[in-house]
Amino acid sequence: MAFDSFREFVSQLDRAGELVRVFQPVATELEITELADREMKKPGGGRALLIEAPTVNGQPSPLPVAINTFGSWKRMALAMGAPSVDAAAAELGALIKARPPTSMREAMKLLSTALELRHARPRQVRSGPCKEVVLKFEPPPARVEPWPPAPGIGAGVSAMPGACPTLAGLPILKCWPLDGGRFITLPCVVTKDPDTGERNVGMYRMQVYEDASTGMHWQLQKVGARHARRHRERGQRMPVAVFLGGDPMLAFAATAPLPDGLDEFLLAGYLRRQSVELVKGETVDLEVPANADVVIEGYVDPQEPLREEGPFGDHTGYYTLPEPYPVFHVTAVTRRRDAVYPATIVGIPPMEDFYMGGASVKLFLPVFKMSFPEIVDIALPAEGVFHNLVFVSIRKTYPMQAYKIMHGLWGMGQMMFTKYLVVVDEDVDVHNTRDVLFHLCANTDPQRDTLLSRGPADVLDHATSEIGVGGKLGLDATRKLPGEGFKRSWPPLIKMDPRVRERIDALFGGAG
């Protein structure tokens, strides 16, 4: 099901009993976080919140804030317009399975073709609701402006009389007490590869610096950062368009670990069963979804010195300390008249992003299986905040197969960030952490069954000695085979005789 606006999605959550409307004034400074964090910590992720009267520095904001809208399996399914996330994943899996690929490159091509099968290609339209209110400067001159810019708004661009593309009107959260400022936490950032023209949409948080400038937190290994490097090498200013809201599948697609070059709007169109309609930016040569709630256009000047971004209370559960990142200068802000401002907070898990990341894993499990047919299931438990801890179950048929999976996954896209990787047999439920820990402890000899390796690390990981570089630990908790140096017999797992179970069920009911 396609949603015409984020407000329509929020109304759907309301009808499904998944929303609490909050009418009291709640401050965007810390108070919304406290309210949302309590909800996110409830079993199953609590409910979404629509803060109808948020305040910014004590003043009422013109836009309401929606938060925790993706924070449960049910809400993720509602966002996808599917009966469940598993059903959506099974449908994509069936499309991909139609013709098994012979290489990774072919697998990616196949994924792209599978997405297009539902006529999900984005299409251009002339205008859309995201332009109901337009605030813009004149397009900035192409030449690189000196740094620092003149005091006030924008780096050397002249303002149109009476209209300022300022972020001040948006209810942007200050999430945690030691945060370096306010952060836009669900921004979908559109950039293009200057060589190929290929588009990317990634979710990279943005710290508000001044009324019309922010940080641009694309991490070193992400596609936005690669586009920025190419613009710097070519000595070109980099146009960037950021949108918020619209159909919820847009934000989900921005977070999905798609291979570089696969269009996120294609994935969003596939999932919402309707092409994403795109409109040209007012001041940048980039397209944004016509049904977005808010659009922020601007540029990054690759020759401008980087600026400290952070601290920020992060999804690691700790603050990430200040690090240098590019500055984004705003040239236009456009929005719907009745826009809803979508936000999230990250912090000590479980949080809303667990369900976004989890849905990605479920959706892309068929892609992993294409390359590694022995994989049965994959889970990223909430305690591992995405990549810190990954559980994989496999159908093991030959010695050292668990190690093949470790090497393979560490070499696959954003799985490269995985710190601890536990491989178990197919009969272990990877979504049940207790079950995995039991088999891990029972089935391993630490000296024999561990693999220490090194590789790229999540730049948010404060425990690595160097940023972006870290160790990896693979744990083989599968049943050992003779070829793996195991010379004894493997004992059977304790299981009750099914006939006894049936008799006890009949006597005392199914609960035992």
Ligand X SMILES: Cc1cc2nc3c(=O)[nH]c(=O)nc-3n(C[C@H](O)[C@H](O)[C@H](O)COP(=O)(O)O)c2cc1C
Half-sphere exposure at residue 44, Cβ-oriented, CA atoms within 13 angstroms: 7
Q: Which helix (H) or strand (E) holds 255?
A: helix 248-255
Phi/psi at 121 (5° precision)? -60, 135
Q: Tell me which residues in 154-183 interact with ligand X (CB under 6 A).
A: none
Contact between 255 and ligand X (CB under 6 A)? yes
Name, in order, each residue with C-beta under 8 angstroms of 278's C-beta and a sequence gap of 6 or more: 122, 123, 124, 125, 265, 287, 288, 289, 290
Among 122, 224, 269, 470, binds ligand X (CB under 6 A): 224
Decide whether 76 or 279 has the Cβ nearer to ligand X: 76
Q: Is the dihedral of CA 38, 42, 48, 49 positive or negative?
A: negative
328 belongs to the binding site for ligand X (CB under 6 A):
no
Tell the smallest beta-carbon distance from residue 323 to ligand X (Å).
Answer: 11
For ligand X, the binding residue among 33, 275, 316, 344 (CB under 6 A) is: 344
202 binds ligand X (CB under 6 A): yes
48, 50, 173, 223: which one contacts ligand X (CB under 6 A)? 223
CB of 260 to ligand X, least distance (A): 7
Q: State yes or no: residue 216 binds ligand X (CB under 6 A).
A: no
Q: Supply 115's token pair.
A: 């997405």
User: What is the distance between the alpha carbons of residues 450 and 347, in angstroms, rounded to a whole number?
Assistant: 30
265 binds ligand X (CB under 6 A): no
Q: Are strands 327-335 and 213-215 parallel, antiparallel or unpaired?
A: antiparallel
From the CB of 219, what's the least distance to ligand X, in Å? Answer: 3
Q: Does 371 bind ligand X (CB under 6 A)?
A: no
Report H helices in 256-335: 264-272
Q: How far is CA 338 from the centre of its chain?
A: 26
In the complex, what is the shortest distance from the CB of residue 421 to ligand X, in angstroms, rounded to a whole number?
18
Q: Does 218 bind ligand X (CB under 6 A)?
A: yes
Burial of 332 (0-12, 13-18, 19+ CB in 10 A): buried
The region of 56-64, 121-129, 196-204, 277-285 touching ligand X under the rule CB under 6 A is 196-204
Pairing state between β 389-394 and 420-425: parallel
Report CA torsion sign: 167, 171, 173, 177.
Answer: positive
Whole-Å CA distances, 130 to 103, 152, 192, 338, 402: 41, 26, 21, 10, 49
Stretch that binds ligand X, among 111-119, 132-140, 162-170, 201-209 (CB under 6 A): 201-209
Residue 353, both tokens: 């992003």
- The residue (of 314 and 476) whose beta carbon lies closer to ligand X is 314
Residue 55 vs 219, nearer CB to ligand X: 219
From the list 293, 301, 314, 458, the catalytic residue is 314
Which of residues 101, 257, 399, 468 is near ligand X by CB under 6 A? 257
Tell me if 140 sits within 8 A of 157, measured CB to CB: yes
Find tokens 């709640």 and name the residue.
Answer: 26
Q: Tell me the closest approach of the beta carbon of residue 41 to ligand X, in angstroms.
A: 17
Q: In angstroms, give the least distance from the CB of 231 to ligand X.
A: 15
219 binds ligand X (CB under 6 A): yes
Contact between residue 284 and residue 192 where contact means Cβ atoms under 8 Å apart: no
Q: Is 14 a catalytic residue?
A: no
Q: Which stretch binds ligand X (CB under 6 A): 119-127, 251-259, 476-484, 500-508?
A: 251-259
Q: How many residues bind ligand X (CB under 6 A)?
A: 20
Asked if 79 is part of the footprint of ligand X (rule: CB under 6 A), the reply reads: no
Piece in contact with ligand X (CB under 6 A), picked from 199-207, 277-285, 403-411, 442-450: 199-207
Within residues 388-447, the interface with ligand X by CB under 6 A covers 414
Task: Please report, as ranges, the residues that interact with ligand X according to CB under 6 A.
Answer: 185, 200, 202-205, 217-219, 222-224, 255-257, 344, 346, 353, 356, 414
Active site residues: 314
